[in-house]
Structure 1
Amino acid sequence: MKSFRVRELKRTDVEALLAFETHNRAWFESHIDARDLDFYSEQGVAEHIEGYLSGFAVGAWHPFVIEDANERIVGRANLKCINALTGRAEVGYRIDQGACGQGLATLALRHLIQEAKVRWQLTQLVAYVFEENVGSRKVLDRCGFLLEQPACTDKTAGECRFVLSI
């Protein structure tokens, strides 16, 4: 298996993150909601990173990137909507299309679970995945997340909610 590492997002990641997001744009948009067009520029990505790091500074986000042996970004993972009072957060991840099938989503999710436990002392993680995103559903299952039955008033049509108690 190739060598990969998960590390926190940095302000200096603008060019590498823009390249990753641009290269995989069509792939991502086939599985998740599209980003605004303004995102796809150095300024857009710099603002995006700044927003994530500001959220990290106040304990609401914890953004990570996954790098290959050449320090190229091949994935992202985030703890988001961190709520210390309820002990909950959401997880999200995206993996380069060319790097799929190498265990990176599982690596990223296990890293998020560990950070949620150790750094943030969280007790529950939630993930939202479109029904047709079979790959992500398998990753969530592999990492112990359980599919939660949707409520009748659920406004997330087409999405499945997975929960992990930690």
Structure 2
Amino acid sequence: MNTFRVRKLENTDIEALLTFEIHNREWFESHIDARDPAFYSLQGVADHIESYLSDFAIGAWHPFVIEDSSEGIVGRANLKSINSPKGSAEVGYRIDQRFCGQGLATLALKHLIQEAQMHWNLTQLLANVYKNNIGSRKVLNRCGFLVEHKSWMDKTKDECRFILSI
């Protein structure tokens, strides 16, 4: 049985993160916005990690990776746009296609909720999801997020917003 752990993103994750992102690029782009092509290089990922860790240092982001028992990256999760005065942040996650359906997105989201409460003292989390991303919508519902009805009812938008009060 494979075991998984969630940990903070580190500068040493460049090669493993690049491998994860390249392997899942097509899968991710079918569910979320595509990354800039320059991202898909060692320098692109190094710059990405440096930016995320700089934002962590100033309290704007909290980036995580999910590892399997062989310490390979199989997912990512982030608290982003942290607004401590308002007590809110956005959540985001992406799971390796080979590991979907094994509870990793739920594990990641529960970890984000815990970190939001314990590390950042946040009271509200937000998630924006494409309406056709049924898997992410199920994960958000499972973790207590509720759809913001005005975003769902707006037929001109492809995304809807979910909110969790904590």
TM range (shorter): over 0.9
Q: Superposition pairs for residues 17-166 of structure 1, below 5 Å?
A: 17-150=17-150, 157-166=157-166
Mapped to 2, the partners of 1:150 and 1:81 lie a distance apart of 22
Question: What fraction of aligned residue pairs are identical, expressed as a percent?
Answer: 72
- For the residue of structure 2 that corresponds to 1:150, the secondary structure is helix
Which TM-score applies when normalising by structure 1?
A: 0.96
- For the residue of structure 1 that corresponds to 2:76, the secondary structure is strand
Mapped to 1, the partners of 2:149 and 2:42 lie a distance apart of 40
Output one character per residue of 1:97-116: Cα deviation in whole Å (capped at 9) or x when no partner. 00001000000000000000
Cα deviation, residue 157, structure 1: 1.7
Mapped to 1, the partners of 2:150 and 2:11 lie a distance apart of 38
Output one character per residue of 1:128-148: Cα deviation in whole Å (capped at 9) or x when no partner. 000000000000000000000
Cα deviation, residue 151, structure 1: 5.6
Amino acid in structure 1 at the alignment position of 2:53? L
Structure 1: gaps spanning 5 or more residues: none
Amino acid in structure 1 at the alignment position of 2:70? N
Amino acid in structure 2 at the alignment position of 1:48? H
Decide whether the 8 Å contact of 2:63 with 2:79 is kept in 1: yes
Which TM-score applies when normalising by structure 2?
A: 0.96
Mapped to 1, the partners of 2:29 and 2:145 lie a distance apart of 24
- For the residue of structure 1 that corresponds to 2:150, the secondary structure is coil
Mapped to 2, the partners of 1:87 and 1:7 lie a distance apart of 23
| Count of residues in Structure 1 that have an aligned counterpart in Structure 2 | 164
Mapped to 2, the partners of 1:103 and 1:151 lie a distance apart of 27
Mapped to 2, the partners of 1:22 and 1:67 lie a distance apart of 16
Amino acid in structure 1 at the alignment position of 2:42? E
Mapped to 2, the partners of 1:151 and 1:138 lie a distance apart of 17
Amino acid in structure 1 at the alignment position of 2:137? R
